[in-house]
Amino acid sequence: MSRRSAPVRKEGIAPLTTALRSEGAVSRAPRLATARRDLAAADALKVALDSLQEAKAEDPVSINITGKSSLGDYMVVATGRSQRHVGAIADRLVEDLKKAGGANPHVEGLPHCDWVLIDAGDVIVHIFRPEVRSFYNIEKMWLADHPAAPVAV
């Protein structure tokens, strides 16, 4: 039989198990882990489209990219009238997604506001100024019907 010995205590040093937590503290999960929930793709799409409409974004187009790309399930393309309008639309969309319970979306392009990309997980939103949208014309590329597998010639 083995005997368990008591931990050796040096003068003024508490055992490791009590040194890492406060005396009498209640153990609980991290704040973000309990407060955060991800939106389903369809719910995030609805929040995005409603937010774009309320912010008076022009010509919003929703594209189902399920099966076409592993980036997400939906892509939304919209236009703002000016750089300031593009920035305001993006700010409102980010806030609406957060209020709906989605994770913090990743935002690119806010400093210049020519083209702002908001990655909300399964929904990716592109907000353009009119000239930039017509130049890149990304919805044409994603709306085109491409074969699922390469075709032998």
Task: Give 128 or 148, the one with higher predicted confidence.
Answer: 128
Task: Give 87 or 143, the one with higher predicted confidence.
Answer: 87
Instruction: Count CB-CB contacts under 10 A for residue 112.
Output: 12
Question: How much is the pLDDT for 144?
Answer: 73
As its CATH architecture, domain 37-143 has: 2-Layer Sandwich (3.30)
Contact 148, 67 (CB under 8 A): yes
CB-neighbour burial class of residue 41 (10 A; exposed 0-12, middle 13-18, buried 19+)? middle
Contact 49, 63 (CB under 8 A): no
Tens-place pLDDT, residues 95-146? 999 999 877 899 999 999 999 999 998 899 999 999 999 999 998 888 876 5
Tens-place pLDDT, residues 55-81? 999 999 999 988 888 888 999 999 999
Instruction: Count CB-CB contacts under 10 A for residue 125.
Output: 30
Question: How much is the pLDDT for 18?
Answer: 45
CB-neighbour burial class of residue 104 (10 A; exposed 0-12, middle 13-18, buried 19+)? exposed
Tens-place pLDDT, residues 28-59? 444 333 333 457 888 999 999 999 999 999 99
Domain parsing of the chain, residue ranges: 37-143
Question: How much is the pLDDT for 83?
Answer: 96
- Counts for the chain of helices (H) and strands (E), in that order: 6, 5
Report the C-alpha gap between 49 and 104 in whole angstroms: 18
Question: How much is the pLDDT for 11?
Answer: 59
